[in-house]
Amino acid sequence: MKKLLLLILAFVLVFAMAACSSGPAPANNTNTDNSSNTIRPEDVSAMSYAEYIAAGEGANVVIEGYVQKYALNRDFHNVSMFIQDENGGSYYAYRAVCSDEQAAKLVEGTHVKVSGKKASWSGEIEIGEGCIFYILEGNKVFVAVDISGKLADLQALEKMMNQKISAKELLVEYSTSSEGKVSAFLYNWDGSGAAGSNNDLYFNISHGGAGFTFCVESDEDPEGTGTYDAVTGLHFGDIIDLEGMLYWYNGPNVHVNRINVVKASKADALKSEGVLTYTQYTECADEAEVTVEGYVQGRTVYDEEQHSFSMFLADADGAYYAYGVNASKEDYDKLTYGTKVKLSGIKIFGNGLPLISKVETMEILEGYYIAMPENITDKIGDNDALYKMTAGKVLLRDLKVAASKAPDSDTEYAFLYNWDGSGKAGENCDVYFTVETAGGKSCTVYVDTDEFPEGSDLYKAVTQLSIGDEINLESFVFWNEDPEFHVQKLSVKK
């Protein structure tokens, strides 16, 4: 996240601008000192990376290495640089004073020597604003280090801060603007920007349960460059490989260099012969024979006794719920998030819920698609609107956990085992809890143990809630005469 933006938000813009000299920039390799008591680079040898890390906040530091990525600001005569040395050291020099002559020589791999004050910002360790640098002979571009297996290990990642890294098979998650709009990426961190404005780009990814926000800094890769355009071409559900610089902002915040879409999330526009469109399916009466194609968005645990399971499907136009699908465990295990399948069964209405039952055949097809969830927080209480979203995945945001009470009881709980509080821990009961929107509307949501048994991460997260916790939810819209919500993900706002 750009520091200038954060400084503006903190109402210290005047201070920030005062630190940016608009006067004449120094010539290359001059001894201009823009930071009090900064050591001239030519006066001392460069530190080792271990010496640099051991230096205290505000200490004079001198490092040497090769620029792997940089953001040049010609108007203010400064440049921010990611630098690596040949011994594995990695550094970030923030707003180093940069002459026009130096700027003309900067390319990926440029050999530099930097002197300044060691500083930190939201966890990022850097050489602070006003540092100076010299350009030396030589050029070296380093190969990115694959961190795919370390994404959940924050301590390991922190030790690799500012290195050039790569990561594989990342899932593009949805991002939500400050206004609640959902998309695959945001212009600016809060979605306040727009195409054509050269805003920074932010997008969320996950891997093995760990989630992160990565970005394209427009002063490093402006709008119209390959990297920028690659992010604006992403779709929710895409699986990507990427390369970038491991910047830190209260956690890993990679500045992306390159993106490759390994598997694109895309629903086929046309149905094969004999398959109903979503509109045709919705128009089918009770007990009608139906054949549909859709992509797996969620499923229950496999029932070993019945050799069956249930699942939520989606296509480009809508969502379906298939109940009691008869299939082998081998075929069940082939189904992953986004897998395309073809089902034939009988459409019925169970307590108002349209579903496909008596599914005796399931065919796994080529294709992959993850449907974008819709933020329906403002539709709580509007049952007509919610019914149109039956079986679809939705978001409920900016909620508070309200008190839940068992029938004939005044005792308040953050959640109940079973809808009436008749269960207890260790019995693998469904877990129910009540949430309230900022507008004062409330609804009951729950974790279905057919989907997430006791002991699963989601189940444990719900049983650790307290009344008053602020949370966001991802759920499926279910129906049992009135709307119900099957929780799929939960995040507690800090």
Its CATH architecture, for the domain 278-368, is Beta Barrel (2.40)
Residue where the block lists tokens 């539709």: 379
pLDDT of residue 350: 87
pLDDT of residue 209: 79
Element spanning 173, H or E: none
pTM for the whole structure:
0.87
Look at residue 378 in the predicted model and tell me its pLDDT.
94
SS3 state at 232: helix
Yes or no: say if 113 and 127 are a contact pair by the CB < 8 Å rule. Answer: no
Buried b (16+ CB within 10 A) or exposed e, 279-309: eebeebeeeeebbbbbbbbbbbebeeeeebb
Please choose, from the candidates 309, 302, 303, the residue with its C-alpha nearest in 3D space to the C-alpha of residue 324: 309
Which CATH superfamily hosts domain 145-263?
A: Nucleic acid-binding proteins (2.40.50.140)
Q: Where are the domains of the chain?
A: 24-139, 145-263, 278-368, 374-492
Task: Please give the pLDDT value at position 423.
Answer: 96
Q: How many CB atoms lie within 10 A of CB 368?
A: 19
pLDDT of residue 352: 85
421-457 per-residue burial string, b: 16 or more CB within 10 A, e: under 16: bebeeeeebbbbbbbebeeeeebbbbbbbebbebeee
pLDDT 10s per residue in the chain (494 long)? 556 444 433 333 222 222 333 232 333 333 334 444 566 766 678 999 999 999 999 999 999 999 999 999 999 999 999 999 999 999 999 999 999 999 999 999 999 999 999 999 999 999 999 999 999 999 999 999 999 989 989 999 999 999 999 999 999 999 999 999 999 999 999 999 999 999 999 999 999 878 999 999 999 999 999 999 999 999 999 999 999 999 999 999 999 999 999 999 999 989 999 999 999 999 999 999 999 999 999 999 999 999 999 999 999 999 999 999 999 999 999 999 999 999 999 999 988 889 999 999 899 999 999 999 999 999 999 999 999 999 999 999 999 999 999 998 999 999 999 999 999 999 999 999 999 999 999 999 999 999 999 999 999 999 999 999 999 999 999 988 889 999 999 999 86
- pLDDT in the model for residue 41: 67
3-state secondary structure of 14: helix
Q: Which CATH class is domain 374-492?
A: mainly beta
Q: Give me the pLDDT at residue 19, please.
A: 30
Q: Report how far residue 170's alpha carbon sits from residue 324's, in angstroms, rounded to the nearest whole number.
A: 32
Cα–Cα distance measured from residue 332 to residue 393, given in angstroms and rounded to the nearest whole number:
21
Q: What is the pLDDT of residue 15?
A: 27
Q: Who contacts 438 (Cβ-Cβ below 8 Å, separation ≥6)?
A: 398
Q: What is the CATH number of domain 24-139?
A: 2.40.50.140
Same fold, 24-139 and 145-263: yes
The pLDDT of residue 13: 28
CA distance 388 to 417: 29
